[in-house]
Structure 1
Amino acid sequence: MSQILSYMDASATYTIPSRPLTWLITGCSSGFGLALARLVRSQGHRVIATSRNPAKTPELVAEFSAEGHHRWETLDVDAPDCGALIARLEEQEGVQVDVLVNNAGWALYGVAEHFSEDEVRRQFETLLFAPFRLTRAAMPYMRARKFGIVVNVSSASGLAAIPSMSIYGGAKAALDAVMRTFALEVKDFNVRMLNVNPGTFDTGMLHQLQYQAATPDPAYAATNTGKMLAFMQSGEGEARGDMHKGVRAMYDVVMGAGPHKDHLGEPQLPLGAGAAYFVARQAAQAQQTLAAFGELSKSCDKPEPEA
């Protein structure tokens, strides 16, 4: 067991080059993606902004194309070959992707019992498979250069069980788990990964939620799940987080700016009071589990071999 634990050691010393970095950010047509792209540009770095359909936001394309070293690319993250963009940039155009930000996403709410498999697969396609494909595509180049940063914009719903968010939260939790392990595997190459778990922010996402096609059984109406769904569909949900403060915090942690320079090895960044609450709740639940079943768990091992 001790040998296995040594392989899980997450400690590493990361360095960041003292030069402008090239950031590739997905989902830049609005919200966190757009706000982060603008902030990164303002800090002197190069931005490759992407979206599924740039024709819908010509003013943004023009904004990021006004200066030659910034650009806007078409990228459907659900496409099986979405990683080809990174290969083209690196191999054909000589553009080094230093920071990959997996931000593109959408949210599907509903009662777990009534989700169709197609709905589940579509949600996981965007929130898990897409960032995994892009990260996998970027990794050989980052690894060879002995530098790279991958930022995964996850969700606070991946940290806790929230009624009506089983599939959305489940996809985000899966992303967190995959990328935590990915991070352990590439840390020796000075490649760092950061999972960002925002709570509710004023990105407009609360007004763009999607809901399952099936009508939930009426029995759910009086439950917390039914009440949560009704509340979200009413449009009365309030976003407590300030988007611009959130992306500033994200940027500072990624770049190790100011007091964050000693925390480059931290794998997770909760954003917003709600996200911090869920992290504390996770820790409390872990202690409760150990108190209840810790000794029982250890008693299931074989006896230690005699010396």
Structure 2
Amino acid sequence: MIRPLLIFFCLTLFTACDDGDILTIDLDFDEELAYCDNFEEYHLVYDTREDPNEALILIFEKGEDINDAFFTHATTEGSPETLTIDASTTRFIYRTYNRALTSDDVCAVVSPSGLSVKEDYEAGSGTIYVTSTVEDDDNDGVPTADEGLAGLPDENGIYWDSLDTDGDGIPNYLDIDDDGDNVLTANELDDDNADGDDDPLTNPLDTDGDGIPNYLDADDDGDNVPTRLEDANGENGPGDDRISVNGILVELYLNSEEATPYTFEDYDAYTNSYTRTVETSFVVTDTDLTIFRSTEINLGTLTTEIEDFNPDDYDN
């Protein structure tokens, strides 16, 4: 929550404030930020609230590699990136309005009918600390911290020395099929949550009991036929090929009694695209918006969902 701020209220903007004119207010925003995606030259992030009708707006340039990466990659742990408020390339604005804002009002190029700005204050200086986190880089259900992250990142932020179970050149933390068996990692975890702790890794599926969880095991049922070859129809991976066992349909690749390898001309492997969730938080420090000064404002967090994310398409 944004801390109570000291408000320096003057009779006019051109008159110095007396010590007795200091007021204290609480800008109680929800800190759940929104983003305008209709501007080509800059990023616009904002938060609004009602009663009173207010908005906090942050604007900064696009085209800077680091700036754009705020919404696609994690920043280095413990080392947030910084933006310097200069009222030009990086702007921080507080506004009040005559009515409650809709989701489209702040992003409108032309002010909507019936909406007017009552007060408009812009900071002339200050520093913004930006922290981006990705708990699960490939969104496969296994947190990055548990996928063997190792070494130092290259210029694009890729940790190439990390664990690569299937040896396909894609580290597990970026691989949606860690063991290369053509069954998605997300489909080889403890979906039933047998131990009740909401952590799929404390009780991972291990069909053949060999101590290797299915999501890292190239032969899930231990029948000496690689899981990827237990794809009877050669389509969509082994997950849709089943056989009835005592009236229950069981996937071939999880049934050790069925050990037939299937060959097919084209290996229908999954491409390494996935949905990535990035959480980007902004903290504004040492800013002066004419009517208030603050040493720190926790502006909030923006959650970005990137569909069909492919690391090769996004430089860090």
TM-score between both structures, scaled by the size of structure 1 = 0.20
Relative to its length, the structure with more strand (as a share) is 2
Higher helix residue share: 1
TM (norm. structure 2) is 0.19
